[in-house]
Amino acid sequence: MAKQAYATSSLVVGYALCSSLLAIINKYAITKFSYPGLLTALQYLTSVTGVWILGKLGFLYHDPFNLQTAKKFAPAALVFYLAIFTNTHLLKHANVDTFIVFRSLTPLLVAIADTIFRKQPCPSKLTFLSLVIILGGAVGYVMTDSAFTLTAYSWALAYLITITTEMVYIKHMVTNLGLNTWGFVFYNNLLSLLMAPVFGFLTGEHLSVFRAIESRGQSWFELDSFVAVSLSCVFGLLISFFGFAARKAISATAFTVAGVVNKFLTVAINVMIWDKHASAFGLVCLLFTLSGGMLYQQSVTSKGNSAVQQVMAASKVGLMMMQRSLMKRNKAWFHLRRLSEAHDA
C-alpha cells in the first residue's frame, strides 16, 4: 500500500512539475514562434516519434496501432486536441495569468460532471467548500488584472469548456479502453497529429506559415526560437506520459485540482519574468485559489483514498516552498522601495 501511494505521488508530482513549467514554456515559445497550430503539431510529432523510437529500441512498450482501437479513441483525441488548440490560442492572445484563472475554474465543473456523468459520489461539504474557494479566489484575481480583449475572453471560454470535457471524458477512456500508459500517449498524439493539418487550414494559419516562408521575414532557426520550440516539444512528451499515468491513479476531479495547485510555481515564475501580472491583492486572491486546492479532499468511494492523501500532501509541500519563495521576494521588493523613498526624500 505504501509503495503504491509513493508511486501515485511520484506520478502526480511529475505531472505537476511538467504542467507548471509547460505553461511558461509555451507562452515563451509562442512569443518567439507565433504559429500555435504548427507549434502543437510539432509537439505531437515529437511525442509520436519519441515513443515509436524508444519502443523500437526496447526502452519502453506501447500498444501496437490497431484501427479499431483508434476509432474508439478518436473522440477522446479530438477533445484533447481542442483543449490544446484553445490553450495555445489563449496563451497567444492573453497573458499567463488569464490562463491560470480559467484553469482554476475547472475543478468545480469537473466535480459536477464527475457526479452527473461518471456516477461518482457527490462532493462532501469540505470538498465543495474548497472548490468554491478556488472559484472565489480566481474571480478576485481576474478582477485585479489588466483588461482583457474580447478575443482573449472568447478563447478563454472555449478553453474552459474543452478542458472540462477533456478531464472527464479522457478519464473515462483511460479507465475503460485498456491501453497501457505509453499506448495512450502514442494513440493520443498520433491521432492529434493527423487532425493538425485540418485545423491549420480551417483557421487559415497555413497562409501565415506560407507567407512567412516566402518572405523569410522570420528566421525559424534563431537559437532562442529553436530552444523555445524544442523545450515545448520535450515537455509535451513528458506531460503526456505523466498526465495519462496520473489519470489512471486518481479521480478526474483530484487530477484537475492537482493541475490547479501546481500553478503556484507558474505564478511565481510569471511574476519574475513577465512585466504584466496582477497586483499584490491579486496575488492574495491567487493564494486563496491555491489554498482551496490544498483544502480539497477526495470524496471517499472505495479505493485510492490514501493515494489521494499522498498527492495532496505532496502538493502542500510544494506550496509551502513557493510561499516562502514569494515572501522572500516581497520582503526584498519592500526593502528596495523603502530605500528608494529614503533616497527621494
Helix 223-249 vs helix 252-261: crossing angle, to nearest 10: 140
pLDDT digits (tens, 9 = 90+) for 94-144: 777 778 778 777 777 777 777 777 666 666 777 778 778 877 887 787 677
Whole-model pTM above 0.75?
Answer: no
**Who wins on pLDDT, 256 or 14?**
14
What ranges make up the beta strands (E) of 197-316? none
pLDDT digits (tens, 9 = 90+) for 296-340: 654 433 444 444 454 455 455 545 555 555 555 555 555 555 655
Kindly state the cell numbers that stand for 277.
501580472
pLDDT digits (tens, 9 = 90+) for 136-176: 887 787 677 655 577 888 888 899 889 888 877 777 777 77
Q: How far apart are CA 88 and CA 97, in angstroms?
A: 14
| DSSP assignments along 52-104, one per residue | HHHHHTTS---PPP-HHHHHHHHHHHHHHHHHHHHHHHHHHHS-HHHHHHHHH
Per mean pLDDT, which range of 95-109, 199-213, 248-262, 265-279 is the poorest? 265-279
Residue type, 53: I
Non-local (6+) Cβ contacts of 38 within 8 A are 200, 205, 209
- Going from N- to C-terminal start, the domains of the chain cover 2-344
Could you say which DSSP state residue 220 is in?
T
